[in-house]
């Protein structure tokens, strides 16, 4: 006989769980007691939300299900934001929560909360394990299904007495059949139809989403693009799905996308959408997207077809496998397409934008130039995380990813405070790679206690705070859409971010020039040390391009003063 | 708008039933009727739902169910008249 929770930890080890992020409390204490004797590393976080975001960061880098834990009641409810975040961005995270003992359930007992009921809409699977003999089986189910099919969060809620009960030893447990979500084989007929559309298209564009990263389909996307000479644009979660220094990759599309990417979509007659849910942020109004162009939609989740955009052809399954079949078929029946002058034109538009922005930013520090500089000095395998706001948009505009899966941001939920804990989790997964959190002061202050973990576990994360003493993105919207009636968007100077970082044991530096920024970052990378850089930037900065909410990509507003009319007919200055 | 019948074979537990209803809500569908009956050894339920909503959402609903490991089968039948 063995304690159920010991059997659980044994199974976790067997399935390759190397670490968990969490906080112990009354109801999950047996879980921590069992961890005491195991090789699984546990990171003691300072808030359960941060544990969940850390798990997201870890899952992105390790490409496997990551585990976080909290006790019953407030410990569990604190995890929710992170779980919903993982849901929106399809990240495989398993939360293990303690629950009050079975006899107390349903009595409003101390720290009792129906966490399963609360997370049901935003998890792939959530269960309270009422029978200790099912505990290991339920773990195997929840851990496996988080990564199978379309990845997403799951939750295992375990009453304290269930953890402590003695059970017969368990061996060789496999997920139950309903938890094995094998992607369907590509449908041959649809592959042929899609191939024909691609061959006939004059201006095809590939839209690469986050699904490409988890499928490992980067090479296939590039191979297809090169064969048909099509530009590649990405969604925000798909930003690092393809190397952004590749000549066919234009960058992120959408509300704050690159202007050349928006124009590529506007100009296209076919969009090949891979591993994306085609969110409003990426494509604007679906009716406009569908107009005047054909759409091929490739996704592992067949419910995405027609949810927002009605595809001409849909292909359900694993992106890598579908693209492989598609490429092989196309190569069989058609010749490589010649280079199109359109790509050069689009690249010129992008270069004109970069040039215009960088010319303006010489005397005082601007967010975009700082990111452009960081991009030049940091190694190509650097993992970037971000908070949410203007700085995030500057990062998606000016950071160029070179390594698949190296840009981790809260894209779907837009969770301020995501950056620092996600960076911590990423560093736990890849201690030898530089991990840099590009943060806003508002976002940073939401989860800055993770600095304590960075210091305790010596997992050195570099944080650059784009410190505009304001909730910049909200301020920008108040400027543009609320007649500059600035309300509750400005911070005072009283919070000292350098001292705050030092209080947690992480060196803090206020940096006043690009030279200093370069020096501090290079040193931190060289010595693999943690540092928090407080970088003052102006609160009057506005992120452009911007497609106003609800408008089609052709109505993108450019930075005031940038003239692109000679290059493209449909872009307007702000 | 279409009216359709959905047949679902699901695990016999309240979370699975709640998940069905949450998807009805997410799809902004309306429910005309629902019956849940235990089948076999009692570990599964068979459900018949009559639902109203846009046709793309009806399809979405049936396909979405398949993402979740509570549901063994899901079929949709459009109703006319
Ligand atoms: C948890 C949370 N609360 C509120 C918001 C709404 N919101 C979006 S951007 C933003 C401002 C972010 O400020 P900061 O992190 O300083 O970044 P900046 O825009 O200044 O670069 C706010 C409040 C949000 N996205 N997340």
**Inter-chain contact A301–B67, Cβ cutoff 8 Å?**
yes
Other Cβ atoms less than 10 A from the Cβ of A346: the count is 26
Contact A227, A336 (CB under 8 A): yes
Both A174 and A213 in one domain: the answer is no
Cα gap A291→A294, rounded to integer Å: 8
Both A443 and A409 in one domain: the answer is yes
| Sequence spans of domains, chain B | 2-79
Both A123 and A206 in one domain: the answer is no
Domain carrying residue A256: 188-344
**Alpha helices, H only, A178-304:** 188-200, 210-215, 218-228, 259-267, 280-283, 286-290
**Alpha helices, H only, A298-366:** 319-333, 341-360
Both A335 and A426 in one domain: the answer is no
Cα gap A106→A109, rounded to integer Å: 7
pLDDT at A484: 97
Question: A313-316 and A249-252: which strand pairing?
Answer: unpaired
Q: Which atom of ligand 1 is nearest to the CA of A473?
A: 19
Domain end residue (candidates: A521, A536, A551) = A536
Residues of A in contact with B18 (CB under 8 A): 117, 120
pLDDT at A361: 66
Both A389 and A488 in one domain: the answer is yes
pLDDT at A569: 46
Question: A93-99 and A66-70: which strand pairing?
Answer: parallel
Both A71 and A149 in one domain: the answer is yes
Both A175 and A192 in one domain: the answer is no
A163, two tokens:
């953890």
**Inter-chain contact B69–A126, Cβ cutoff 8 Å?**
no
Mean pLDDT in each 10-residue stretch from start to end of chain A (574 residues)? Answer: 97 98 98 97 98 99 98 98 98 98 97 98 98 98 97 98 95 94 94 98 98 97 98 98 98 96 97 97 94 97 95 98 98 94 94 94 87 98 98 98 97 98 98 98 98 98 98 98 97 96 98 97 98 97 96 95 67 51
Report yes or no on A274 lying in a domain: yes
Report yes or no on A292 lying in a domain: yes
Q: Indicate the average pLDDT of chain B.
A: 94
CA B81 to chain A, closest CA, distance in angstroms equals 24
Phi, psi of A307 (to 5 degrees): -65, -50
How remote is the C-alpha of A8 from its chain's centroid? 29
Q: What is the CATH number of the domain that holds A258?
A: 3.40.50.1220
Whether pTM > 0.95 for this model: the answer is yes
Other Cβ atoms less than 10 A from the Cβ of A172: the count is 6
CA A498 to chain B, closest CA, distance in angstroms equals 44
Name residues contacting ligand 1 (CB within 6 A): A 387-391, 414-416, 440-443, 466, 468, 470-474
pLDDT at A360: 86
Report yes or no on A31 lying in a domain: yes
**Which conformational region is residue A511 in: left (phi greater than 0), alpha (psi within -120 to 50 degrees), or beta?**
beta
Report yes or no on A79 lying in a domain: yes
Report yes or no on A122 lying in a domain: yes
CA B36 to chain A, closest CA, distance in angstroms equals 19
pLDDT at A566: 59
B contact set with A (CB within 8 A): 11, 15, 18-19, 22, 26, 56, 59-60, 63-64, 66-72
State the residue for tokens 């400005």: A490
pLDDT at A564: 80
Both A24 and A111 in one domain: the answer is yes
Phi, psi of A158 (to 5 degrees): -125, 115
Report yes or no on A295 lying in a domain: yes
What's the structural domain count of chain A? 3
Q: Where does residue A527 rank: exposed (0-12), middle (13-18), buried (19+ CB within 10 A)?
A: exposed
Both A379 and A476 in one domain: the answer is yes
Both A331 and A415 in one domain: the answer is no
Residues of B in contact with A116 (CB under 8 A): 15
Which residues lie below 8 Å from residue A172, measured CB to CB, with a gap of 6+? none
* ipTM (interface predicted TM): 0.96
Residues recorded for chain A: 574
Q: Which candidate from B15, B60, B64 shows the least CB-CB separation from A116?
A: B15
Phi, psi of A59 (to 5 degrees): -60, -40
Both A238 and A172 in one domain: the answer is no
CATH class of the B2-79 domain in this structure? alpha beta
Both A255 and A371 in one domain: the answer is no
pLDDT at A171: 82
Cα gap A561→A555, rounded to integer Å: 16
Of all helices (H) and strands (E), which one includes residue A67? strand A66-70
Q: Which candidate from B18, B26, B69 shows the least CB-CB separation from A179?
A: B69
pLDDT at B81: 56
Residues of A in contact with B68 (CB under 8 A): 124-125
SS3 A456: helix
E strands in B21-65 = 30-39, 44-53
């Amino acid at each position: 006989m063995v304690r159920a929770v010991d059997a659980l930890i044994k199974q976790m080890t067997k399935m390759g769980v190397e670490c968990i992020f969490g906080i112990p409390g009354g109801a999950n204490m047996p879980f921590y007691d069992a961890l005491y004797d195991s090789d699984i590393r546990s990171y003691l976080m300072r808030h359960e939300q941060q544990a969940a975001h850390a798990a997201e960061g870890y899952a992105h880098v390790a490409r496997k299900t990551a585990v976080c834990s909290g006790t019953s009641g407030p410990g569990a409810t604190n995890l929710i934001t992170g779980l919903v975040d993982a849901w929106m961005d399809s990240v495989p995270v398993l939360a293990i929560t303690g629950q009050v003992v079975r006899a107390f359930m349903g009595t409003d007992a101390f720290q009792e909360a129906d966490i399963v009921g609360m997370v049901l809409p935003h998890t792939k699977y959530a269960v309270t394990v009422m029978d200790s003999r099912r505990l290991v089986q339920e773990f195997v189910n929840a851990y496996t299904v988080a990564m199978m099919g379309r990845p997403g969060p799951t939750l295992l809620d375990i009453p304290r007495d269930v953890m402590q009960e003695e059970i017969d030893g368990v061996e060789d447990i496999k997920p139950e059949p309903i938890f094995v979500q094998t992607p369907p084989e590509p449908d041959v007929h649809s592959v042929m139809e899609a191939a024909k559309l691609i061959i006939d298209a004059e201006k095809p564009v590939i839209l690469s989403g986050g699904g490409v990263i988890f499928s490992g389909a980067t090479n296939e996307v590039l191979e297809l693009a090169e064969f048909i000479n099509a530009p590649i644009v990405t969604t925000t979660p798909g930003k690092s799905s393809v190397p952004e220094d590749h000549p066919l990759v234009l960058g992120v599309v959408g509300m704050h996308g690159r202007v050349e990417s928006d124009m590529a979509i506007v100009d296209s007659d076919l969009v090949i959408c891979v591993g994306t849910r085609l969110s409003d942020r990426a494509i604007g109004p679906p009716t406009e997207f569908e107009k005047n162009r054909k759409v091929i939609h490739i996704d592992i989740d067949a419910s995405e077809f027609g949810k927002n955009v009605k595809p001409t052809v849909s292909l359900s399954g694993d992106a890598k496998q579908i693209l492989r079949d598609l490429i092989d078929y196309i190569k069989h029946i058609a010749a490589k397409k010649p280079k199109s002058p359109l790509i050069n034109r689009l690249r010129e538009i992008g270069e004109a934008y970069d040039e215009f922005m960088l010319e303006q930013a010489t005397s005082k520090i601007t967010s975009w130039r700082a990111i452009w500089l960081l991009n030049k000095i940091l190694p190509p395998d650097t993992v970037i995380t971000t908070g949410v706001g203007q700085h995030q948009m500057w990062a998606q505009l000016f950071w160029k990813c070179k390594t698949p899966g190296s840009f981790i941001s809260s894209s779907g939920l837009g969770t301020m405070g995501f950056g620092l804990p996600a960076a911590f989790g990423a560093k736990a997964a890849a201690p030898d790679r530089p991990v840099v959190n590009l943060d806003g002061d508002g976002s940073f202050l939401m989860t800055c206690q993770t600095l304590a973990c960075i210091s305790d576990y010596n997992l050195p994360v570099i944080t650059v705070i784009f410190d505009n003493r304001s909730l910049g993105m909200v301020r920008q919207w108040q400027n543009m859409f609320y007649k500059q009636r600035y309300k509750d968007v400005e911070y005072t100077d009283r919070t000292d971010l350098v001292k705050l970082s030092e209080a947690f044991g992480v060196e803090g530096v206020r940096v006043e020039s690009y030279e200093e920024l370069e020096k501090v970052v290079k040193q931190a990378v060289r010595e693999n040390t943690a540092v928090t850089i407080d970088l003052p930037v102006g609160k009057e900065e506005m992120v452009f391009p911007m497609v106003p909410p609800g408008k089609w990509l052709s109505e993108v507003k450019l930075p005031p003063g940038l003239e692109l009319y000679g290059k493209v007919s449909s872009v307007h200055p702000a | 708008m279409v009216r359709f019948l959905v047949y679902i074979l699901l695990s016999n537990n309240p979370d699975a039933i709640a998940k069905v209803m949450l998807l009805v809500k997410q799809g902004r569908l309306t429910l005309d009727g629902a019956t849940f009956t235990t089948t076999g050894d009692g570990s599964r339920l068979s459900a018949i739902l009559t639902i109203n909503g846009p046709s793309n959402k009806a399809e979405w609903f049936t396909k979405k169910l398949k993402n979740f490991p509570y549901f063994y089968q899901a079929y949709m039948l459009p109703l006319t008249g």
